Amino acid sequence: MLSQTELDDEKGRMLRNLSHLVEISVTLNSTLDPEKLLQFIICSAAEVLDCEAASILLYDETRGQLYFATASGDSRQLARIPVPLDGSIAGTIFQENRPLVINEVAADPRHYQQVGEQVSFQARSLLGVPMCIKSRVTGVLEALNKRQGDFNDEDVHILSVIASQAAVAIHNAQLLHALQKANEELRKLDKLKSDFISIASHELRTPLGVILGYATFLKDEAQGELSEHAEMVLNSALKMRTLVEDMTNLNTMQMGTTQLALQPSAIQKVLKQAFQDIQETARAKELAFSVNMPDKPILVNADPAKLEQVFANLMNNAVRFTPQGGKVNLSVLLEKNEVRVLIRDSGIGIPRQDLEKIFEEFYQVENHLRRHMGGMGLGLSIARGLLKLHNGRIWAESPGEGKGSTFTVVLPVMIQSSPPSSET
């Protein structure tokens, strides 16, 4: 029977342990640096159990063995020592998934002498508990050399509580670390891609200029078949120039260096200009291209060349993705402070799941290698980027594959000053 004072002491001790465990839990949940986390776990374990040292061994799945993730003192030496699952104390705890108390370590045949020798630390007593996530054992937490008395059931209980929280915290920190690493890799890849696009588009521009120059000259000067051949070279070179321009535009937009020459521009004029670029192809495909737009000019504050590029791209897509004999319609609607431009086609349509994705760089509904339509999947992402710079927006709608598509562009209209009153 315990006396009242002993009972009070016992209660006080339990309360201290409990508040210590709560503190540990809070810190574990808020530390995401793996190194700091491991250090904190072993320091807390050694302190709560009043031990000389503690260590964490984690399971290396590729090698099928345990390794020291950290230990009191200098653990760098330990990091190189593999701990086999068979025949070692930690391995037994890991494989049997249960705590182990050894109050005379030296007498235990599983004691791994090499470890103590490496760090000049002699283990006398040991308590080890498995660290688990759900039912999967991920490592072992060990406390060594209890300063007073032997390890008891309460110690086992306390270390198990720390181990179960530590396992989750370590797992989270590892996941975050992996995520950060993957992010860093992605960032590097993205930079590589940007650099490549920048160099490639720059280096292609000069030879392309020469090809365009000579092909134009030959087309005009040569006669008959030769002139036709020169025209084919010229058309291909023009297509290539569009691709190079797309790549350059994408890069400047990503770097935030796109320059806009803003000026009051009539949307009708921009659209007519864009239509010029594609009318030949539309005619060749025998498409019925209808236009509905108000005569009164609708002014937008825009860079007309950039806006023309956006609409030429949308019309070009409508023509490309609509089979021979289909329909394309261009409508302009003035709504309050905005103008809406709708480009509708009766073409191949867009699956619902791709309606947003097509605005991502290099995204094409059809696999690039299997497609016959050409292009690099850049036009729409550039269009969205350019429209954003004009405070505009763009989206796509389609009732489904084979049922046509509608692209809607919305731009703010310029407040037009009302004409001077005729009243005197």
Tokens representing residue 135 in the block? 């039912």
Give the integer Cα–Cα distance in Å for 195 and 189.
10
* Interacting residues toward ligand ADP by CB under 6 A: 313, 317-318, 321, 345, 347-348, 350, 358, 364-366, 375-381, 405
Pairing of strands 299-302, 405-412: unpaired
Q: What is the closest distance, in whole angstroms, from the C-beta atom of residue 368 to ligand ADP in the complex?
A: 8
**Type and span of the H or E element at 270:** helix 267-284
Distance between CA 293 and CA 313 in Å, rounded?
19
Element (H or E) spanning 405, and its range? strand 405-412
Q: Which is nearer to ligand ADP, 207 or 400 (CB)?
A: 400
What b/e string do you get for 1-31 counting C-beta neighbours within 10 Å, with b at 16 or more? Answer: eeeeeeeeeeeeeeeebeeebeebbebbeeb
Phi, psi dihedrals of residue 146, rounded to the nearest 5°: -65, 135
Quote the least distance from Cβ 315 to ligand ADP, whole Å: 9
Q: Are 322 and 406 a contacting pair, CB within 8 Å?
A: no
Angle at 110 between CA 106 and CA 112, to 5 degrees: 70
- Say if CB 78 and CB 42 are below 8 A apart: no
Task: Compare residues 66 and 350 and give the one whose CB is closer to ligand ADP.
Answer: 350
Which one, 17 or 329, has the nearer CB to ligand ADP? 329
Length of the chain: 424
Q: How far is the CB of 294 from ligand ADP (least distance, A)?
A: 24
Our CB check for ligand ADP shows the closer of 159 and 307 to be 307
Closer Cβ to ligand ADP, 204 or 266, answer by number: 204
Nearer to ligand ADP, 266 or 376 (CB): 376
Q: Minimal distance in Å, beta carbon 220 to ligand ADP?
A: 30
Instruction: Report the nearest approach of ligand ADP to the CB of residue 254 (Å).
Output: 15
Q: Which is nearer to ligand ADP, 65 or 405 (CB)?
A: 405
Please state, in angstroms and rounded to a whole number, the distance separating the CA atoms of residues 204 and 240. Answer: 9
Q: How far is the CB of 250 from ligand ADP (least distance, A)?
A: 10
Helix (H) / strand (E) element for 6: namely helix 4-30
CA distance 395 to 401: 17
User: Which of 236, 38, 275 shows the shortest CA–CA distance to 142?
Assistant: 38
- Residue 99 token pair: 């705590």
The residue nearest ligand ADP at its CB is 375
Q: What is the enclosing helix (H) or strand (E) of 183? A: helix 153-221
Work out how close the CB of 340 gets to ligand ADP at its nearest, in angstroms, rounded to a whole number.
Answer: 17
Beta carbon of residue 327, minimum distance to ligand ADP (angstroms, whole number): 12
Residue that the structure tokens 């005379």 belong to: 104
- Between 265 and 381, whose beta carbon lies closer to ligand ADP? 381
